[in-house]
Every structure is written in structure tokens, then in C-alpha cells.
């Protein structure tokens, strides 16, 4: 085991990907000379050169679209969109081209593109830089949506994504970049089809992903002191969703709380709740609960931002309500 | 000055243009008969552009086009049977019937659409060119779009990136003067489109898009400039759409006089005259070409009529590649 940060894990994944396959290159805003906004690509320009570590102009739509074209042309591009907030400028390329080309062309063209971006709130950067929109992306057929929450996944999901023939979107929670974790020495191949049980329990299932995983685990620790054994599920992959692992857990615990940093209405948590209802309604002892963000633009002051986001105490409270 | 090289050359260009026109005239009839549905954007009037430019590209080059791409696909060489079947939505179509008129694809001819969001093809073309450059291949990507696209951010972003990275992409603007119903001068502060391209530090020419020979000469030269590693190049073809924007257009935005004025410059009629004056076209040549096209169209219609629909069981096929992930 090596102790490294999430940021270093992403960088390790990038380095390995660039070393393994000459078709792989990285492009995005400030990925080269600056070293990446979150320093994920620091040192890569020096190691791999400007042909493979490409600083782009601030033109999200075009460099994502160029990633699509390069993938069609036989490359394996990794496109870094600095944050999910700016990915809105590339939505046309993502939805109308990347996700659609394979089906619309009758299977003639596939787009082996990997797009990485930071997501999430919690750093006091206010309403325009705090979005959690991975659930929107998970709405789109034709793409895979990954939400690495651990250092193992931060490194390994990128490598697994590069083996996919179709577009993969990786959402790295900005709050996690400085988090430290243990990376196995043997550098395991990471599966990107299954959810993971991060903490076993029998009384309630806490179902979450990305940055909220650590809040759910904190809540589970607190609940354990009260004698409540919460099982914590890390979805890892939002599309295609591993509903089997969710239902197995819910059938055991009979109660579920879904935690999602997106706004409650139309959130990915709503999708999970609906699928639990469809697949395990008669196993439930209580309605599925959700802990999501308040339906407000995320404000700057710390106390207001914290109040707007899911927090361990809100999760604990939701569990207590469920258990009566 | 562009000239016809010989009889064969002249007849080939004429044949390309006539094939597009007759195919589309038939498509419009089939639309009225309820055989073709959805959007149908006709290229009639603009045939000289596809006929004169597409042959400048080799089989190894890539083409990215728009929703008004029937002509480009026909000249590129996708069979009329496949194209007609695609208009019908049949499984034998060039996109298995899934795309229809706006989404012609042909991987075997490196024809990447049929991309129907205005300006959405430019970034993709830039990326195809980037892949070629990184692979060290001397291929060119030809990217067609209309005058409407120049208002979009992707136009400016793509020209900038292609010029910045010196990518082998040829931008081909088919300026038919209207972004659907909005005249160029009503949506552009600078209506000189080639001037915009020059602002991104690339070579740009304005070409008479009603003159197939002028199109051919300008495009042939531009393709070779791009192929030789000079970075991107830009051509603006000044052309005109004789028909409505699509099948649902009352054409309230332009006068009949204007349309008639442009029709006097019909690229097919004028080129036919050129050939006749040069004594390169005889009546029987013209009749032979027309007859061959009529037969080809009849066969394509029969093919499309008889072709099967894609089974509903295949609806979900190819949303994603059908492979299982490593675990």
C-alpha cells in the first residue's frame, strides 16, 4: 500500500495511460504549462511533450468536438474539461455527436473518447462554479458515466475507460483532490460495471457516489455509535447503473437513503429511488428517503453553502426518521 | 481561368450535377406521396459546389457535411440505392435507415455525416484532422457548412484551433445567403465570410459557387495546399438555394424576383451552355446522361420500396458497442 492523494492517483493513471498507448493524448485548458487547474497533469508536458499534452484555447465545445473527431480518426483522446460548470458549453458536442453517432450511423462509427472533469461544491466558489451535474449526463444513452470516489478508482477508472469503445465521462469531485488514500502496490485493474459496498451493515442502505461517499461513511460511523448498522454503497458508475447491487442491499436492510449533491428535483437520487421502488417495493419497510442539495444556487458564505449541501448530520437525521 | 479539360471531364461534371438534381426532384415527389418523412432539405441550385469540390478529395480523405448533404454523398460515391433507402428509413440505407435525409453516413468512404446541428461538424472535422496530423498521415478533412454556421461560436473556435495547430482541414462554406430564413446581412456585422477566416490567420478565397469549373479549380488548389502541410484553408462558395429551406417553408423572407434572378444562373443550365458552345456536348450525350440517371433513380426507388425495415428488436442495437467490460 502507498499513501497518495486523489490528485496524484489521477496523475498516475494519466501517466500510465500515456506510457501504455501512443494513441493516448491529453488536451484541455491549462493541462500543459500550468500543470492542470487541480495539478492533475503536473509534469506531464515535460515528460510527454506538447504533441501529447495539448493546451487548448478556452473553447470547450470545439476541444470536446475535436476529441470526438480525433477518436473517430483512430486516436484515444483524454479531454479534460476543467470543471463540469464549463462542460455546459460543450453539451451540443457531447449529446448530439459523442453519444449519438454510433446509433445514428447504424453502427458504423464509434467514439472512444474519455472526458474528465471536476464536479461538485464545498469550496466556497459560489453559484457558477459549484454544480453537480453528473446526473444530467447519466440521462444520456450512449455514454458511460463514472464517479471515482477513492484513490484506487481515480487511477483505475481512467485506465479502464480507455479500454471502452464508446465515450466515457469521468466526474472527479473537486473536494477530493487533496484527500489521501491507500493505493494497492499491485495496481489492480478496476472494474467499471459494478457498485461497491464500502461499509457493510444490516439496518439501512446509504446509497451514494462521488464526494458524498465520505459524508455517508461519516454518517455511518455516527449511526454505529447509536447501534444502527448502516450499509454504505458507492455507485461508482451512474450509467449503466448497477441496480443489482442496490437491490441486493435493500433486500437485506429494507430501508434506503439516497445521498446526492445535485438538486433534489430530477436528481440522480430520484432515478435510484424509482428503480428501488420498481425492483424491491415489497422488501421496503419505509419509503426511500433522499438527502440532496437545497434547491438554491450554491451561495458563497461557508455557513450557507454547508446548509445547502448534504451533510453527515442530515443523513443521520434521515436515517433516524426512517427507523422511526 | 477555369476550363473544361476535355469532353469526358465536362460530361462527368454535368452528370454529377444532374444526378443530384434529379435525385432530389424525385425525393421531393416521394415526400409529397408520403414515402419520405421528417425534414428534407434540398440542395437544388447548389449542385455545382458538391459536383465541383468533392472529386478533389481522395478516398483516404474525410468529408464532414451537414443536413443538406444529399449531393455530397452522391458525388462521394455512396450508391443511390443506399441513399434512397435511407430517405425511406429502410434498413438497407446508408445509416441503416436510422438517420434519414439529414444523417447520411458511409464509413467505407470516410463520410462522417450528415451532422445536423448547425456548426456542430466543424469541431469534429478539426479532430479528424488532428488525428491525421498526429499519425503523420497526409490526409485532408473537408468540412462543409452553411453561412448560418458562421454566427455560431463553434465556427470561430474551430477556425482558431485549426489555424493555431496548423491542422489539415479545409473549411468549405456554402454561402446560400440565408440561414434558414435570415439573410446574411441581417445576422452578420461583417458579411464578408472569407474575411472572418483571414482574421484567424488562414488563407481564404471567395468562389463563384454557381460555376462548377470555378469550384473545381479553387477546391483542387486548396486541397493540395492543405495536404502539403500548410495548415487549414477556407473557401466560401457563393451559391443559392432554389427551393425552400425544407419542405415546410413558405419563403416569406425572399422575393420571387430574387429567386428568378438566381435561377438565370442555374449551374446546370449554364454549364450545359458552356459545353455546347465548346462543342463538347451533343443532344444525344445529354439524353444519354438523363436516361441513365432516370434508370438509376427508378432502380433506387424500387430498391427502397422493396427493402425491409429494421426489426424493432434491433432498436437498442448500437447505442453502445456490444462488448462486455473486463472485470
| Whole-complex ipTM | 0.95
Q: Could you tell me if A134 and A88 are in contact, meaning their C-beta atoms sit under 8 angstroms apart?
A: no
Residue A129 falls in the annotated catalytic set: yes
Asked if residue A164 and residue A242 are part of one domain, the reply reads no
Does A278 have pLDDT greater than 80? yes
Q: Which triple of cell numbers denotes residue B220?
A: 483542387
Does residue B186 sit in helix, strand or coil?
helix
Question: Which of B:37-66 have CB within 8 Å of A?
Answer: 62
Give me the mean pLDDT over the A257-261 stretch: 98
pLDDT at B322: 73
Asked if residue A234 and residue A175 are part of one domain, the reply reads no
Q: What digits encode the pLDDT tens for the residues A127-166?
A: 999 999 999 999 999 999 999 999 999 999 999 999 999 9
Asked if residue A73 and residue A171 are part of one domain, the reply reads yes
* Chain B: closest CA distance from residue A65 (Å): 5
In a domain, A156, yes or no: yes
Q: Give the confidence band of B57 by pLDDT, cuts at 50, 70, 90.
A: very high
Asked if residue A292 and residue A211 are part of one domain, the reply reads yes
Task: Report the percent of chain A where pLDDT is more than 70.
Answer: 100
Asked if residue A213 and residue A168 are part of one domain, the reply reads no
Q: Which of A60, A231, A271, A305 is catalytic?
A: A60
Nearest to A194 by CA among A158, A149, A152, A246: A246
Does residue B117 sit in helix, strand or coil?
coil
- CATH number for the domain that contains residue A299: 3.40.50.920
**Prediction pTM value:** 0.96
For chain A, the average pLDDT equals 97
pLDDT at B249: 85
Domains of chain B, residue spans: 7-314
Asked if residue A134 and residue A19 are part of one domain, the reply reads yes
In a domain, A191, yes or no: no
Asked if residue A179 and residue A200 are part of one domain, the reply reads no
Q: Which triple of cell numbers denotes residue B40?
A: 428534407
Does B1 have pLDDT greater than 60? no
Query: Chain A: residue nearest B96 by CA?
Result: A106
Nearest to A253 by CA among A222, A225, A296, A220: A220
**What's the number of domains chain A is made of?**
2
Q: Do A103 and B318 touch (CB under 8 A)?
A: yes
Q: Could you tell me if A56 and B165 are in contact, meaning their C-beta atoms sit under 8 angstroms apart?
A: no
Residues of chain A in contact with residue B134, where contact means CB-CB under 8 angstroms, are 25, 51, 70, 75
Give me the mean pLDDT over the B162-170 stretch: 98
In a domain, A13, yes or no: yes
pLDDT at A191: 95
Asked if residue A239 and residue A273 are part of one domain, the reply reads yes
Task: Report the percent of chain B where pLDDT is more than 70.
Answer: 98
Residues of chain A in contact with residue B128, where contact means CB-CB under 8 angstroms, are 69-70, 72-73
Asked if residue A17 and residue A147 are part of one domain, the reply reads yes
Asked if residue A166 and residue A287 are part of one domain, the reply reads no
Give me the mean pLDDT over the B247-263 stretch: 92
Domain boundary among A183, A208, A236: A183
* CATH label, B7-314, candidates 3.40.250.10, 2.60.40.10, 3.60.20.30, 3.40.50.970: 3.40.50.970
In a domain, A190, yes or no: no
In a domain, A255, yes or no: yes
Q: What digits encode the pLDDT tens for the residues A33-67?
A: 999 999 999 999 999 999 999 999 999 999 999 99
Residue ranges of the alpha helices (H) in A169-311? 212-225, 243-253, 268-280, 302-308
B128 contact A CB<8A: yes
Q: What digits encode the pLDDT tens for the residues A89-118?
A: 999 999 999 999 999 999 999 999 999 999
Q: Which residues contact B108 (CB under 8 A, 6 or more apart)?
A: none
Q: Which triple of cell numbers denotes residue B21?
A: 438534381
Domain boundary among A150, A183, A216: A183
Q: Give the confidence band of B325 by pLDDT, cuts at 50, 70, 90.
A: very low
Asked if residue A204 and residue A176 are part of one domain, the reply reads no
Residue of A28, A73, A144, A190 to mutate, testing the B interface (most B Cβ within 10 Å of its Cβ): A73
Residue A139 falls in the annotated catalytic set: no
Does B218 have pLDDT greater than 50? yes
pLDDT at B323: 60
* Chain B: closest CA distance from residue A123 (Å): 31
Q: Which of A8, A29, A80, A129 is catalytic?
A: A129
Q: Give the confidence band of B101 by pLDDT, cuts at 50, 70, 90.
A: very high
Nearest to B180 by CA among B323, B90, B99, B66: B66
Structural domain boundaries enclosing A218: 196-322
- CATH number for the domain that contains residue A69: 3.40.50.970
Asked if residue A170 and residue A200 are part of one domain, the reply reads no
In a domain, A56, yes or no: yes
Amino acid at each position: 500500500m502507498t499513501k497518495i492523494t486523489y490528485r496524484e492517483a489521477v496523475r498516475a493513471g494519466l501517466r500510465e495511460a500515456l506510457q501504455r498507448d501512443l494513441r493516448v493524448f491529453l488536451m484541455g485548458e491549462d493541462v500543459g504549462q500550468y500543470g492542470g487547474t487541480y495539478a492533475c497533469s503536473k509534469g506531464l508536458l515535460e515528460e510527454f511533450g506538447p504533441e501529447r499534452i495539448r493546451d487548448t484555447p478556452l473553447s470547450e465545445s470545439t476541444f470536446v468536438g475535436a476529441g470526438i473527431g480525433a477518436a473517430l480518426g483512430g486516436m484515444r483522446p483524454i479531454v479534460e474539461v476543467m470543471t463540469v460548470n464549463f462542460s455546459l458549453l460543450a453539451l451540443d458536442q457531447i449529446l448530439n455527436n459523442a453519444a449519438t453517432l454510433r446509433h445514428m450511423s447504424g453502427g458504423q462509427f464509434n467514439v472512444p473518447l474519455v472526458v474528465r472533469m471536476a464536479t461538485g461544491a464545498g469550496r466556497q466558489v459560489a453559484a457558477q462554479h459549484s454544480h453537480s451535474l453528473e446526473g444530467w449526463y447519466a440521462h444520456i444513452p450512449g455514454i458511460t458515466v463514472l464517479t471515482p470516489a477513492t484513490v484506487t478508482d481515480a487511477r483505475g477508472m481512467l485506465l479502464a475507460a480507455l479500454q471502452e469503445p464508446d465515450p466515457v465521462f469521468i466526474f472527479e469531485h473537486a473536494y477530493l483532490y487533496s484527500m489521501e488514500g491507500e493505493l494497492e502496490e499491485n495496481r489492480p485493474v478496476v472494474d467499471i460495471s459494478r457498485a461497491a459496498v464500502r461499509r457493510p451493515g444490516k439496518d439501512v442502505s446509504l446509497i451514494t457516489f462521488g464526494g458524498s461517499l465520505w459524508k455517508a461513511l461519516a454518517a455511518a460511523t455516527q449511526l454505529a455509535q447509536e447501534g444502527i448498522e448502516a450499509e454504505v454503497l458507492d455507485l461508482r458508475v451512474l450509467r449503466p447503473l448497477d441496480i443489482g447491487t442496490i437491490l441486493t442491499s435493500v433486500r437485506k436492510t429494507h430501508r434506503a437513503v439516497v445521498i446526492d449533491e445535485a438538486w433534489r428535483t430530477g436528481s440522480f437520487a430520484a432515478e435510484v429511488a424509482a428503480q428501488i421502488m420498481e425492483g424491491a417495493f415489497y422488501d421496503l419497510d419505509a419509503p426511500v428517503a433522499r438527502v440532496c442539495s437545497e434547491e438554491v444556487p450554491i451561495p458563497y458564505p461557508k455557513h450557507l453553502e454547508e446548509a445547502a449541501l448534504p451533510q453527515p448530520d442530515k443523513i443521520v437525521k434521515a436515517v433516524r426518521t426512517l427507523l422511526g | 481561368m477555369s476550363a473544361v479539360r476535355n469532353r469526358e471531364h465536362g460530361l462527368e461534371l454535368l452528370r454529377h450535377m444532374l444526378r443530384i438534381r434529379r435525385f432530389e426532384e424525385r425525393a421531393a415527389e416521394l415526400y409529397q406521396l408520403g414515402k419520405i418523412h421528417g425534414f428534407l432539405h434540398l440542395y437544388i441550385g447548389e449542385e455545382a459546389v458538391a459536383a465541383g469540390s468533392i472529386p478533389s478529395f481522395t478516398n483516404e480523405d474525410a468529408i464532414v457535411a451537414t443536413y443538406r448533404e444529399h449531393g455530397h454523398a452522391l458525388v462521394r460515391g455512396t450508391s443511390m440505392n443506399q441513399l434512397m433507402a435511407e430517405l425511406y428509413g429502410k434498413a438497407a440505407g446508408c445509416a441503416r435507415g436510422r438517420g434519414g435525409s439529414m444523417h447520411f453516413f458511409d464509413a467505407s468512404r470516410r463520410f462522417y455525416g450528415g451532422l445536423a446541428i448547425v456548426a456542430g461538424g466543424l469541431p469534429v472535422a478539426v479532430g479528424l484532422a488532428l488525428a491525421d496530423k498526429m499519425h503523420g498521415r497526409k490526409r485532408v478533412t473537408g468540412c462543409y457548412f452553411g453561412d448560418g454556421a458562421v454566427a455560431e461560436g463553434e465556427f470561430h473556435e474551430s477556425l482558431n484551433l485549426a489555424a493555431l495547430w496548423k491542422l489539415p482541414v479545409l473549411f468549405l462554406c456554402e454561402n446560400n445567403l440565408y440561414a434558414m430564413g435570415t439573410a446574411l446581412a441581417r445576422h452578420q456585422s461583417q458579411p464578408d465570410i472569407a474575411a472572418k477566416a483571414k482574421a484567424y490567420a488562414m488563407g481564404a478565397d471567395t468562389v463563384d459557387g454557381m460555376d462548377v469549373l470555378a469550384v473545381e479549380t479553387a477546391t483542387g488548389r486548396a486541397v493540395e495546399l492543405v495536404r502539403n502541410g500548410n495548415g487549414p484553408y477556407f473557401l466560401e462558395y457563393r451559391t443559392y438555394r432554389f427551393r425552400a429551406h425544407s419542405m415546410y417553408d413558405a419563403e416569406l423572407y425572399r422575393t420571387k424576383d430574387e429567386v428568378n434572378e438566381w435561377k438565370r444562373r442555374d449551374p446546370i443550365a449554364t454549364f450545359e451552355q458552356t459545353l455546347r458552345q465548346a462543342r463538347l456536348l451533343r443532344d444525344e450525350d445529354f439524353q444519354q446522361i438523363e436516361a441513365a440517371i432516370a434508370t438509376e433513380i427508378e432502380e433506387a426507388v424500387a430498391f427502397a420500396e422493396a427493402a425491409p425495415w429494421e426489426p424493432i428488436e434491433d432498436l437498442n442495437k448500437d447505442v453502445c458497442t456490444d462488448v462486455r467490460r473486463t472485470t
